[in-house]
Amino acid sequence: MPYLELSLRCRESEQPRYERALEDVGALAVTLLDADAETPNERAILEPGVGEMPIWGEVALSALFDAEADPLLLLSALDAFDPGLDWSQAGFRKVEDQDWERAWMDQYVPLRFGERTWIVPWNHDLPEGADAPDAAVVRLDPGLAFGSGTHPTTSLCLQWLDGLAARGELQGRAVLDFGCGSGILALAALKLGAGRAVGVDNDPQAILATHDNAARNGVGDRIAVHLPADEPATTYPVVVANILAAALDALADTLAARVAPGGRIALSGILAGQEDELLPRYGAWFDGLRVVREDDWVRIDGVRR
């Protein structure tokens, strides 16, 4: 199946604005590369590991859209969303699935989060440490669904889950992963000791990716994945939602209702500064709300009253 690819260069400092605009107009995937590399094969994906900071001055950004998308309409929508950005330099071309799959396989490497959690590409050997008896290893193929562990928003959630497991607050419990993407957070929770997991996403591609990754990790019988309209209205002791701040605001009532009394919640996909509006919103239901930052992104977590 072909896709329409938009590509442009931007300053690293403006990258979050470009990415937010592209996601708002329906980008299926966004990849960020070192614009100063001499050849495409020397580029590295701009999604720093835990504790690392990006050092590139310019970013080569590529976004994937449905093949039938109209480039002129996309540019018009992007300019309307953020007219302060330069969209005139954007180029378009048609690409096949394998172009993106090959890029992911070439660039993605095993990553560790917290004490025990490892995210390892399905085609990569286990690195030292990931073969330890207590290691929680997720074998992943994101496909076209968001979630490889390398983006700070996902990293923040993986660290939170790892911390819950270390304190014995995950063992045998049910976990809701709202906006599951590739299923990475639900799968990590299961590998860390959760009894079962439920994933929810409005993208059918994410539903397929989560099912595929669950089967690859041998936990397909312990996870259920739903579109929002089919999601069971029940409560969970652990809820994690890695979606955009605007969606977290709009879904606050729904997410709060999914957390059992005394249960834990983690919210991510929040740009630094956006937490100022979300903290009082979620403070209506949650105590001990805490903000943790990584690069330009933050996580909010707390306990349901």
User: Any idea what DSSP says for residue 56?
Assistant: -
Residue 108 CA to residue 225 CA, distance in Å, equals 25
CB 109 within 8 A of CB 148: no
State yes or no: 123 annotated in a binding site. Answer: no
User: 170-197 as b/e, with b when 16 or more CB fall inside 10 Å?
Assistant: beebbbbbbbbbbbbbbbbbbbbbbebb
E strand or H helix that includes residue 80? helix 71-81
3-state secondary structure 119-152: EEECCCCCCCCCCCCCCEEEEECCCCCCCCCCCH
Amino acid at 174: A
Residue 291 CA to residue 244 CA, distance in Å, equals 16
Q: What is the CA radius of gyration of the chain?
A: 19
State yes or no: 301 annotated in a binding site. Answer: no
State yes or no: 154 annotated in a binding site. Answer: yes
Cβ-based neighbours of 148, under 8 Å, separated by 6 or more: 47, 104, 108, 119, 140, 142, 154, 182, 184
State yes or no: 36 annotated in a binding site. Answer: no
State residue 115 phi and psi, 5-degree precision.
-85, -35
Residue 174 CA to residue 189 CA, distance in Å, equals 9
Q: Which residues are annotated as a binding site?
A: 154, 179, 201, 242
Q: Which residues are annotated as a binding site for S-adenosyl-L-methionine?
A: 154, 179, 201, 242
